[in-house]
Structure 1
Amino acid sequence: MNWLSTLSDLIQHQVLGMAWLNDLIGRLLTALGLDVGTRVGGSVQFFLYDVIKISVLLGLLIFGVSYVQSYFPPERSRRILGRVRGLPANTLGALLGTITPFCSCSSIPLFMGFTAAGLPLGVTFSFLISSPMVDLASVVLLSSIFGFRIAAAYVVLGLVIAVVGGSVIEKLRMESHVTAFATAARSRVPVEVSQAGGPAVDVADPELTRRQRLDFAGEQTADTFRRVFPYVLVGVGIGALIHNWIPQSWVETALGSDNPFGVIVATLVGVPMYADIFGTIPVAEALLAKGAQLGTVLAFMMATTTLSLPSAIMLKRVISGRLLAVFLGVCMVGIIIVGHFFNLTQHLLM
């Protein structure tokens, strides 16, 4: 089994983590006369390494995810989700969110379309929660920094939050709190009754050729990368600042094991911010290196990506304030619970 552990370390550190790239950048900066052992030199090395690493992985991953996404256009997704009910439907909605856009704001138009199509409210909210919080690309990027076990646990628990959150909202029967815009749109969407008894949108799905799917993936990659890259730069910049300029004692006091409210603080701080998972990963990496607890860091990531202020403002246009408060409350409670779980099991996962 030693060879398996060696192979796993090789993939995590050299292939995904690109440790060789960090060493190369360090040698190049040293050759240019910059001491990477200083705060300034260390910040430059951290910034260049993380920007290049994340950009390379991001481009490859978005292309792969977009190619998979070409098999699940909105019309097909609506029809699939319309054929099931209850917990299986919420689970399917959460899983579908893993292959859709990468930030909360870009997920809302699809959420509105699903709501307008008459899909159960729980299904649409399970999708809305999982889409920004968990995606296929995040598994690889999380693995490159935190390892496979933490990445897998993050994805599984993220899906659990999405499924449970959607189920709770569905049990509360708050369909009347969807605004007239979405309710009126439902009557304009043709549906058919499936064998399972649920509505399924009757929209033809064009079969794309491989060339068309590759073109679609290329266009999605370019468009998504343009939108995501500024947040990557900001996230890496903040990470470099934390990594080289913020005293470790400060981070340990605020987010370490001595602060029992660290998870709650991280969640509340993350809610008003706006970034996708790729922009928060460098910040999380730096915080963890400075002594923050794993669960506290991941709770910050989940809150920032799922409960951003811009997405809440957009949601307020299609759902009532009461339903929005329930959505935010359910997600925050779920994130806090998951954060404490990661803190309790950190010694097993790392």
Structure 2
Amino acid sequence: MTFNDYIKTPTGKILIPILILPVWYLMCHFLQPAVDWFVFSALGMTKGEHLAEALWFFFFEFPKVLMLLTLIIFFVGIVRTYFTPERTRKALGGKKTFTGNIMAALLGVVTPFCSCSAIPLFLGFVEAGVPLGVTFSFLIAAPMINEVAIVLLYGMFGWKVALIYVSTGLFIAIVAGWVIGILKLEKWVEPWVYATKVGKNALGEEKIHFSDRISSGYQAVKEIVAKVWLYVALGIVVGAGAHGYVPEDFMVALMGKDAWYSVPLSILIGIPLYSNAAG
């Protein structure tokens, strides 16, 4: 059996990530010394120069973000295989207000459902007796909190900014769903919605081997990283230019508290992030 054949077997699929993890750790550990050597020794640049600082920022941040992105997406891809629509529907069924809102928002972060699946999910949740407010907490959190955005924010701005992003998204989803639940808006739902029967086949439920879950992690990495790496690179190029050439107090003056347009400008900058968190 060749190596290519072996890694396609169930045992090979499980063994490969176990062997890769130590390599990933060593690459992260020695990344900064390697970049220091490349920029300041191999290229002969002087620390503190604008171009040197910009190049150092790019060669350090780009591989770091890609490595974090690969690791997180791989594990999220595995975790998501456990959260089928049918299991999510069962988990949320019968939950009380607010407790259900919290659980629904948390499930919305890790589940793999996109906007095009919102209608069958909504019908399935309502049919299962999930309160309307709890349903909306799930539907709000699912697109609002994106694992790619979490990794990018953590890699470029640190854990505090990433935590604020996740906490704010969860807070909005929980409170919005809770308010919808208090308003008792069920009467505005069309009667045919309650009469609709969404079966297991519509929501997707099947048992899969753990090696297939590993394959889902590989596939998630392949699809997402292939789509976003260029946008990550372009974003870090901009960041590198700012790091090397833009004075530290420039952005403070541009987006500071004394600038009346800081909030509208931040909103306009944030609009494209919804369509592509990495771009």
Question: Normalized against structure 2, the TM-score is what?
Answer: 0.70
Residue type of the partner of 2:82? Y
Structure 1 residues 19 and 237: alpha-carbon distance in aligned structure 2, compared to 1, 3 A threshold: farther
Q: How does 1:307-346 map to 2 (within 5 A)?
A: none
Residue type of the partner of 1:88? T
Query: Does the Cα contact within 8 Å between 2:253 and 2:259 map onto a contact in 1?
Result: yes
Are positions 1:190 and 2:198 aligned together?
Answer: yes
Residue type of the partner of 2:245? W
Question: Hey, what does 1:59 align to over in structure 2?
Answer: 70
Question: Hey, what does 1:303 align to over in structure 2?
Answer: none
Count of residues in correspondence between the two structures: 250
- Report the CA distance between 1:17 and its aligned residue: 12
Mind listing any 5+ residue stretches in structure 2 that lack a counterpart?
Answer: 1-24
Question: Normalized against structure 1, the TM-score is what?
Answer: 0.58
Question: Hey, what does 1:240 align to over in structure 2?
Answer: 240
- Report the CA distance between 1:130 and its aligned residue: 2.4
Q: How does 1:1-350 map to 2 (within 5 A)?
A: 18=28, 20-30=30-40, 31-34=42-45, 37-101=48-112, 107-119=114-126, 120-134=131-145, 142=153, 146-148=157-159, 151-172=162-183, 188-190=196-198, 205-259=205-259, 262-263=262-263, 265-274=265-274, 276-277=276-277, 279=278
Over alpha carbons, which structure has the higher Rg?
2
Question: Hey, what does 1:305 align to over in structure 2?
Answer: none
CA distance in 2, matches of 1:100, 1:225: 19
Query: Does the Cα contact within 8 Å between 1:34 and 1:41 map onto a contact in 2?
Result: yes
Query: Does the Cα contact within 8 Å between 1:79 and 1:201 map onto a contact in 2?
Result: no
Residue type of the partner of 2:43? L
Does the residue aligned with 2:241 lie in a helix, a strand or coil? Answer: helix
Comparing 34-43 with 55-64, greater Cα deviation is found at 34-43
1:185-214 Cα offsets, whole Å, 9 max, x none, are 7755336xxxxxxxx999683232221211
**RMSD after superposition:** 3.9
- Report the CA distance between 1:95 and its aligned residue: 0.3
Structure 1 residues 45 and 110: alpha-carbon distance in aligned structure 2, compared to 1, 3 A threshold: farther
Point out which structure has higher relative CO (alpha carbons under 8 A, 6+ apart): 2
1:41-71 Cα offsets, whole Å, 9 max, x none, are 3333222222201111111111111211111
1:208-264 Cα offsets, whole Å, 9 max, x none, are 222121122222221222233233223223322332333333311122344476345
Q: Percent identity?
A: 31
- Report the CA distance between 1:84 and its aligned residue: 2.4
1:70-104 Cα offsets, whole Å, 9 max, x none, are 11112211232233253222222210122134xxx
Does the residue aligned with 1:117 lie in a helix, a strand or coil? Answer: helix
CA distance in 2, matches of 1:34, 1:18: 23
Comparing 49-58 with 262-271, greater Cα deviation is found at 262-271
